A and B are shown apart, each in its own frame.
Chain A
Amino acid sequence: AQTVTQSQPEMSVQEAETVTLSCTYDTSENNYYLFWYKQPPSRQMILVIRQEAYKQQNATENRFSVNFQKAAKSFSLKISDSQLGDTAMYFCAFMKHSAGTASKLTFGTGTRLQVTL
């Protein structure tokens, strides 16, 4: 079974600054995917960024980037130039590779990020 751990229940960052959210996971799988999801107060789950485990290059999406350390089973999210709209819960998630389609996600407990003026 897979586990995902987010050790920071809450974080705060000032607007325009950079913040890093931590995530570690445990698995015996070799092929898998890692995700960061954002959940604003509306409750909608929004995919922020995705990383394939077989890719060494860290994924980036505009202001969002990850630091993927496969050997250490670490997958942190860096948000640059933070904006007020980034205020949300952030969940790290693991998905085992399944040929042809998605499979179930295992989520961490989340980090509540507050962006302040």
Chain B
Amino acid sequence: NAGVMQNPRHLVRRRGQEARLRCSPMKGHSHVYWYRQLPEEGLKFMVYLQKENIIDESGMPKERFSAEFPKEGPSILRIQQVVRGDSAAYFCASSQTGGNTEAFFGQGTRLTVV
């Protein structure tokens, strides 16, 4: 049973480009959470999605950031027109309905904007 898979592990983008981060939850999990970790800081919640629905996006920046979790395929965190301040590690976690409250984390994607 594979864990939460995130790809790519490392992503380099020039300022103004788009970044797409992918997250495949654990098998049977229908809840996905995205977190951002700036250097030397803790993880900050960004968005919580269930299949085809955004449940809580209170941590998402209002502009340039979007997330989706389609019926088929991975969850995608999309950052348009990246800036240097977007450089961070982005983590995805997943959980299952009726589970024991544990969210399982992927290994993260480290985004570097040059």
Residues of A within 8 A of B (CB): 4, 33, 42-45, 47, 50, 91, 95, 100-110
Contacts and interface: CB of A to CB of B under 8 A. Distances in A.
B42 A101 contact: no
5 contacts: A101-B31, A102-B31, A102-B99, A107-B43, A108-B42
A101 B95 CA distance: 7
A45 B42 CA distance: 11
Given A101-B101, A109-B41, A42 B31 contact: no
A113 to B, nearest CB: 15
B107 A101 contact: no
Interface residues on B, range: 20 to 34
A43 B89 contact: yes
Contacts, number: 59
Which secondary structure characterizes the binding site on chain A?
loop
Nearest to B30: A101
Given A103-B48, A104-B33, A104-B56, A33 B101 contact: yes
B105 A101 contact: no
Given A102-B103, A107-B43, 17 more contacts: A33-B101, A43-B89, A43-B107, A44-B105, A44-B107, A45-B43, A45-B91, A91-B43, A101-B96, A103-B48, A104-B48, A105-B103, A107-B35, A107-B42, A107-B44, A108-B42, A110-B42
Contact of A101 (B59, B91, B99): B99
B101 to A, nearest CB: 5
B98 A45 contact: no
A33 B103 CA distance: 12
B95 A50 contact: no
Contact of A105 (B43, B99, B107): B43
B107 to A, nearest CB: 5
Given A107-B42, A109-B42, A101 B97 contact: yes
A45 B99 CA distance: 19
